[in-house]
Structure 1
Amino acid sequence: MNANANQPSMDLSNPDNYINRELSLLQFNLRVLEQAMDERHPLMERLNFLLIFSSNMDEFFEIRVAGLRNQMETGTGTPGPDGMLPQEVLAEISRITHEAVQRQYHILQDILLPALAEEGVHFLRREHWTEAQAEWVKKYFRDQVYPVLTPIALDPAHPFPRLVNKSLNFIVPLDGKDAFGRSTGLAIVPAPRSLPRLIRLPDEVCENGDDNFIFLSSMIHAHVSDLFPGMKATGCYQFRVTRNADLEVDEDVEDLASALKGELLSRRYGDEVRLEVADNCPQHLIDYLLEQFELGQVDAYKANGPVNLARMFTSVNRPRLHYPPFTPRVPAPVRKYESIFDAIDQGDILLHHPFESFSPVVNLLAEAARDPKVLAIKQTLYRTGTNSEILDHLETAARNGKEVIAVVELRARFDEESNIEGARRLQEAGAIVVYGVVGYKTHSKMLLVLRRDGDGMKRYAHLGTGNYHTKTTKFYTDYGLLTAEPGICQDVHKIFQELTGMGKAARLKQLKHAPFTLHPSLMEWIEFETEQARAGKPARIIAKFNSLTEEHIMQALYRASQAGVEIDLIVRGICCLRPGIPGLSENIRVRSIIGRFLEHTRIYHFHHAGEDLVYCASADWMDRNLFNRVETCFPVNDPKLKKQILEEGLHFYLRDNTQAWLLSADGSYRRAEPAPGEEPFLAQQALLEALSNG
């Protein structure tokens, strides 16, 4: 009998056993920020991590903080497993984020910008402009900026303007009177989004032959008085406001697309949740802005630099400052055959992105669109992007007379507008477009092709852990499976019937799918390992996904740990489970990998009495994925491919001693380091070397 079996039972619902999900997400963002300090990354990539942190924090405030504020104001907040009330979480978020913002600008101003300047990449302050540069800026401002600026004086006839979410603005105190004799003393200058936030100076006004950039905000600061003839601007301070950007759409509307279009406009003007303002802005002006936005002092974040850092993304032609390029490998079975159908006929094909190319999936659609033997194509579309090869091939297929059925998820957050446009394109081409199931987001990644095969019909399927977005496949890690296995393809067919028609939940043979069988299957698999351990038999769980929040699964994992199951979780973002608690979770280890690529694969492995169950999925272990979305979880049956996933998808990441962050019982993360005499091992780099063409 396992030694843990005699331990007294613990209260698995004790809030002390869980980490707050919002604070866990915030910790992930802090791990991203720390990449800007990692000298293993090239300098421009370190800057990009800083900007990614800024973008992540924008969304964190737009969605998570906005939601907490709404819960607090309406009294609708229900504590999660951790037991924290919305006001408690908001107070902790405020404390952590104010410190993080100070660190962010310290890294930018004191570390990255000076280091980039040494490499010949300069972000020039106004006081460092040469006479020639100042003259060029003056002309650029007059020709390109001044004509599109609309200064707004503040007086009874010009109330404080309604400013767009995350837009760059300036508050300008003024001296003197205008042409109408007005002396309001204050104006707002919004910077149009059509203007670039970063402008490269031409080489002819730079003597060093380096890359020299200036900020739009610096241009406006230098020439703001030009906007107010006869008056004097006594200051110019940039600011921006972040608003609630979560969409609320009534599921009972007759036309979801039309309803979403209306909501997209409201996203730009939702309730205010954060004010970012230049740190040299006088306090009385900060107080004025906070009053206009109905925010408190804790909601003001002072920036020692541009307030809109997410718009600083740029590149320079200096290879040593960027990651070395690589060419994703095309698997041998695909290279061997001219037709992708012939390649799949030889056996299942596993694709590990971005190390291996996404082109086989695109080629499957391209060939299916023009193949006279193909009768129908069915696909789920969650995120595809606006300029999408996937949409192009689906359009071609529809125009070629194929039956094209696209299940388009219009509510993919921040991709709603793109998806509405994609749905319109497909409908105009003659495709059948449906928007999934009311009340459930369609998050599964499935493609099914029906093709004549002699006198019969054959199905080909692609199942993935990531989106059909050819851009993200270059920097998200994901798995995809190309298969003609009849059982799997039949299951995919049944799920499409479920999504487009009506009826009872499909009875599937191999796939598990949410919101029906996935959660019960996970609980069953965890319980099986628990019973094996209690019987003194080998028991093991390794799982990799983006987030873990579902309380019943966490409790099942705690019970498994108590029974002696060895559990390793590779969780990129949110993890509400506390590992390493004596008597509860000492057999659970949690790590997060942050590196060049965004970790996105979902892999579940259970020892299962030596059978080694290996599944890939579109779903994280979260309430929303398991109960409120349509998700697919597919087995990897081929022994060779199963072994490959175990080694490259899981064990490589467990060996990582450089880009891994280890979660402690107190909710903090510490960076893994090689043991004395141990060589550094970076999972992503090892995969690049093993799978790509360099």
Structure 2
Amino acid sequence: MSDEAIIAERAFEEEERNTGSPTSDGCDEQMTSVVEEVEERPELFANREISWVDFNDRVLQLAEDDRVPLLERVKFLAIYSGNLDEFFMVRVAGLHDQVDAGIDARGPDGLSAADALEAVTERSRDLTVRQAHQFEQKVRPALAEAGIEIISCAECSDADLEQLDRHFREQILPVLTPLAVGPGRPFPYISSLSLSLGVWMRDPDSGGEVFSRVKVPKEVLPRFVAIGDGKFIPLESAMARHIDALFPGMEILHHDVFRVVRDADFTVSDDADDLLRAVENELRRRRFGEVVRLEVGASINSDLRRRLVDWLGLEEEQVFDVEGLLDLSDLWQIYGLEGHSDLRDPPWSPVTPRAFAADGDQKADLFASIREHDLLVHHPYDSFSGSVERLVEQAVDDPDVLAIKLTVYRTSDDSSLVPSLIEAAERGKQAVCLVELTARFDERRNIEWARALEEAGAHVVHGLPGLKTHAKALVIVRRERQGVRRYVHVGTGNYDAKTSRIYEDVGLFTADPEITSDVAELFNSLTGYGRERQYQQVV
């Protein structure tokens, strides 16, 4: 039993001894006492940011677990890196803002922003060392044994190098743009999450030394260059081999890779008249956020490292020295290689819930199934396309359906839900969609969906200023013999076909009058003005 539970139980036992049974007033007084006692014990509370680092640690543990199939471990290494980037872009950036503003407010855990920043930085640094070790010493050798070699140019055969040299001349060199720093040439803007090659060189004629940055163009070229027979060379390694081709006549003194992560957090004013335009403006400013983390190769020259830190205006605590490859989120490319089924989890094909399954050539009537009884689905085991998407498709085709209302927080390009809503609007049905424009890192996609819906004639609400609508709800209004009936789906997962095949979530289909009335009222409060009401079933 937790300390909090022990305190609460002791308080109620004392009340019962004094009065025979706890009265409502006594309960209030005792609970106030319990709260006050707990608040005086910060060790009972977990800091939000440190707790998140603990979560990412658990992701890394999956990559370290040799019971997990090898390519699945590669996947978890990639997930860990992507998670860490987003954490620094938002959470750590927010801590920096608080420290810079001199805010010393402490939460129930007793930590200031400076305390939390120091803790998560050091913990993240330790985890990144573990991640690098896991990939370089465990996963990469195991991949090589399985026929997937990620190698440097020094490990290539003459035939491999000949193929790589030809590929570099034809495919890589035309894309590269070196940017020198010198008189009239300030240090270039480095976009967030971009990988760069930093080069320090000398002019043999003048003796002057200069720095140049070359972006590793992994946004337009594969990060790992395939040279046949299951061999892959990191793009930056191929560039480093041919660095003389970029700087003819110069003497190359040092070169190494580096990467920056910038503040990507933004705030939209509660007074914004046009939420969509306000979010678009903030997205434009996002790319110019302050640098919150610099990653450098562990072998980088100390002078080059110092100059990068100075040019970017960073503190030493913001620099991460990484052994081996930077940005392991690009390992998704390796995970996505065809074949190697023995290195993956056994495939799983989601099943259509029995109540929604077709009977021979006859499609199931999902409305009849929901009227008969509620249905709870469990993704990814129950099919998203055979349940949620199938219900919306039937609603679009049904002439008795009057309205379809949907909340969109995150969705995928291969999901049929938003296109189905567009089709419903074009068929003259009332189509309503709340598109949460501030869904972190999905803002641009949601803006595109919002515009497409509006152009089709759907009613679109762009979220509420000051609030983030994270609810996942669908309401279908249908005309039936007994009158108008509502059908509802609510769930824990986004209306995203892609993640529904990966993440574990539950969803409820129901025509229960109290629940459907509550969800309809929720939509009314989100799309219009109104005070909160007491819901009957929905929390």
Name the CA distance, whole Å, in 2 between partners of 1:331 and 1:138: 54
Q: Please list, as runs of the form range in 1=range in 2, the aligned pairs for 1:335-414 lying within 5 A after superposition.
A: 335=357, 338-359=364-385, 360-414=387-441
| Deviation for aligned residue 1:6 | 5.0
Q: Please list, as runs of the form range in 1=range in 2, the aligned pairs for 1:452-463 lying within 5 A after superposition.
A: 452-454=479-481, 456-463=483-490
Q: 2:263 aligns with which of 233, 237, 244?
A: 244
Structure 2 match to 1:616: none
Name the CA distance, whole Å, in 2 between partners of 1:30 and 1:233: 39
Name the CA distance, whole Å, in 2 between partners of 1:484 and 1:33: 42
Q: Deviations 1:274-332 (Å, cap 9, x if unpaired)?
A: 11001110111111111111112221111112211112212231001111101112111
Structure 2 match to 1:221: 240
Give the aligned residue type for 2:280. K
Structure 2 match to 1:32: 59
Name the CA distance, whole Å, in 1 between partners of 2:219 and 2:459: 35
Alignment partner of 2:38: what SS? coil
Structure 2 match to 1:332: 354
Name the CA distance, whole Å, in 2 between partners of 1:511 and 1:364: 21
User: Higher helix fraction: Structure 1 or Structure 2?
Assistant: 2
Alignment partner of 1:56: what SS? helix
Structure 2 match to 1:192: 217
Q: Relative to 1, partners in 2 of residues 1:506 and 1:303: Cα closer, same or farther, differing over 3 Å?
A: same
Structure 1 match to 2:454: 427
Q: 1:312 aligns with which of 317, 331, 346?
A: 331
Name the CA distance, whole Å, in 2 between partners of 1:443 and 1:94: 29
Q: Deviations 1:91-127 (Å, cap 9, x if unpaired)?
A: 2223222222211111111111111111111101111
Q: Please list, as runs of the form range in 1=range in 2, the aligned pairs for 1:597-636 lying within 5 A after superposition.
A: none
Q: CA contact under 8 A between 2:47 and 2:109: conserved in structure 1?
A: yes
Structure 2 match to 1:443: 470
Structure 2 match to 1:145: 172
Q: Please list, as runs of the form range in 1=range in 2, the aligned pairs for 1:653-672 lying within 5 A after superposition.
A: none
Q: Deviations 1:344-370 (Å, cap 9, x if unpaired)?
A: 122111110111111210011111112
| Deviation for aligned residue 1:197 | 4.3
Q: 2:297 aligns with which of 278, 281, 288?
A: 278
Q: Relative to 1, partners in 2 of residues 1:183 and 1:339: Cα closer, same or farther, differing over 3 Å?
A: farther
Q: Deviations 1:389-433 (Å, cap 9, x if unpaired)?
A: 111111111111111010110000111011001101111111110
Alignment partner of 1:235: what SS? strand
| Deviation for aligned residue 1:76 | 2.6
Name the CA distance, whole Å, in 1 between partners of 2:261 and 2:239: 22
Name the CA distance, whole Å, in 2 between partners of 1:333 and 1:102: 50
Q: Relative to 1, partners in 2 of residues 1:262 and 1:77: Cα closer, same or farther, differing over 3 Å?
A: farther
State the identity %.
39
Alignment partner of 1:236: what SS? strand
Name the CA distance, whole Å, in 2 between partners of 1:285 and 1:199: 26
Q: Deviations 1:432-463 (Å, cap 9, x if unpaired)?
A: 10113222111111101111102621111101
Structure 1 match to 2:110: 83
Q: CA contact under 8 A between 2:379 and 2:506: conserved in structure 1?
A: yes
Alignment partner of 1:12: what SS? helix
Q: CA contact under 8 A between 1:370 and 1:400: conserved in structure 2?
A: no
Name the CA distance, whole Å, in 1 between partners of 2:101 and 2:347: 51
Structure 1 match to 2:18: none
| Deviation for aligned residue 1:13 | 0.5
Note the aligned Cα RMSD (angstroms).
2.0
| Deviation for aligned residue 1:185 | 2.1
Give the aligned residue type for 2:536. K
Give the aligned residue type for 1:299. Q
Question: Structure 1 residue 491 and structure 2 residue 513: aligned?
Answer: no
Q: Relative to 1, partners in 2 of residues 1:365 and 1:116: Cα closer, same or farther, differing over 3 Å?
A: same
Give the aligned residue type for 1:187. S
The two structures have a TM-score, normalised by structure 1, of 0.70
Name the CA distance, whole Å, in 2 between partners of 1:283 and 1:2: 59
Q: Deviations 1:217-272 (Å, cap 9, x if unpaired)?
A: 11111111111122132332110111111112222122111121121122222011
Name the CA distance, whole Å, in 1 between partners of 2:242 and 2:398: 61
Alignment partner of 1:217: what SS? helix
Name the CA distance, whole Å, in 1 between partners of 2:130 and 2:506: 36
Question: Structure 1 residue 322 and structure 2 residue 344: aligned?
Answer: yes
Structure 1: runs of 5 or more not aligned: 513-694
Give the aligned residue type for 1:319. S
Q: CA contact under 8 A between 1:197 and 1:217: conserved in structure 2?
A: no
Aligned residues: 504
Name the CA distance, whole Å, in 1 between partners of 2:9 and 2:320: 53
Structure 2 match to 1:638: none
Q: Please list, as runs of the form range in 1=range in 2, the aligned pairs for 1:468-617 lying within 5 A after superposition.
A: 468-512=495-539
Give the aligned residue type for 1:355. Y
Structure 2: runs of 5 or more not aligned: 1-7, 16-29
Q: Please list, as runs of the form range in 1=range in 2, the aligned pairs for 1:632-647 lying within 5 A after superposition.
A: none
Name the CA distance, whole Å, in 1 between partners of 2:429 and 2:533: 25
The two structures have a TM-score, normalised by structure 2, of 0.90
Q: CA contact under 8 A between 2:74 and 2:331: conserved in structure 1?
A: no
Name the CA distance, whole Å, in 1 between partners of 2:406 and 2:118: 44
Give the aligned residue type for 1:310. S
Name the CA distance, whole Å, in 1 between partners of 2:136 and 2:224: 19
Name the CA distance, whole Å, in 2 between partners of 1:40 and 1:267: 41
Give the aligned residue type for 2:284. L
| Deviation for aligned residue 1:200 | 4.7
Structure 2 match to 1:257: 276
